[in-house]
Amino acid sequence: MGNPFSDELGVTRCGDREFRWGERTYVMGVINLSPDSFAGDGLGDDLDAALEKARRFVSEGVDIIDVGGESTRPGSTPIPVEEELRRVIPVIELLAREVPVPISVDTYKSEVARRAVSAGARMINDVWGLKFDPKVARVAAEHRLPLILMQNQRDAPFRDFFPELISSLRRSIEIALESGVEWTDIIIDPGIGFGKTVEQNLEIVRRVGEVRRLGRPVLIGPSRKSFIGLVLDLPVEERLEGTAAVVAIGIASGADMVRVHDVREMIRVVRMSDAIVRGRLAAR
């Protein structure tokens, strides 16, 4: 079977790694340092626990680790820059020294992004897609780092859902390019769970391929999210199978990277999905 997603998205360099888009689906593992993570996996100030989790992710085959210090669950309260720095910088410094995969910082604040890059982060994941602090793009441009631009609709409801989602992502791409970010350093994320209804989240998964028509690789982050719980009537700790279904169908729809909490299980889902969708058998 041929690979239906082997188009010209190019190669994105991240630290000493390359993401060769279209060849396979890449896996981003989540390390939450906020005490109020929606997924119930917040590690707080526990450096040893963060390093242990990162090493486990690496042993399971993760491609990149995303470190975040501020909860993005619905209704969460933003934290000051100083507190976010206190949470994430020691962990990024430690992981950058101790694990062999690139570290991403999950932040929408340019000062946090700048300090995180100095600490060793090699990717920036902005959940506001440069709409909160456009200077995040300058940090990525100055250091030639990949930048994830997520569509976030928590500030206002959609009037015309999918066209507005695409328009919002297109504007984020424009802001990044205007700030000097390289085209091949841009990754887009339709923002599953961020201001969308259950029906809209399900539609995103079905229509990932249309998001991909913007010309950049697509990351999806459905892991353990509330729309899965609402569909299946399950609490957050019982959403593994639902997450697996969304990951598999998202890959079939065109996703290039998945952001997950359960790395071992989702890597198995990714490898099986890639074998079917991309005709790619993982090395035995």
User: Per-residue pLDDT tens for 83-110?
Assistant: 999 999 999 999 999 999 999 999 999 9
225 classed as catalytic: yes
Torsion from C-alpha of 114, 116, 117, 119, nearest 10 degrees: 130
Per the confidence metrics, is the pTM higher than 0.85? yes
87, 115, 212, 259: the catalytic one is 259
pLDDT in tens, 217-234: 999 999 999 999 999 999
**So what's the architecture of 20-276 in CATH?**
Alpha-Beta Barrel (3.20)
Question: Can you give the residue ranges of every domain in the chain?
Answer: 20-276
Task: Write out pLDDT tens, residues 160-171.
Answer: 999 999 999 999
Q: Which residue is catalytic, options 87, 196, 216, 225?
A: 225
Rounded to the nearest 10°, the torsion over CA 209, 212, 215, 216 is -150
AA identity, residue 51: L
How far is CA 271 from each of CA 53, 184, 241, rounded to the nearest angstrom? 21, 25, 16
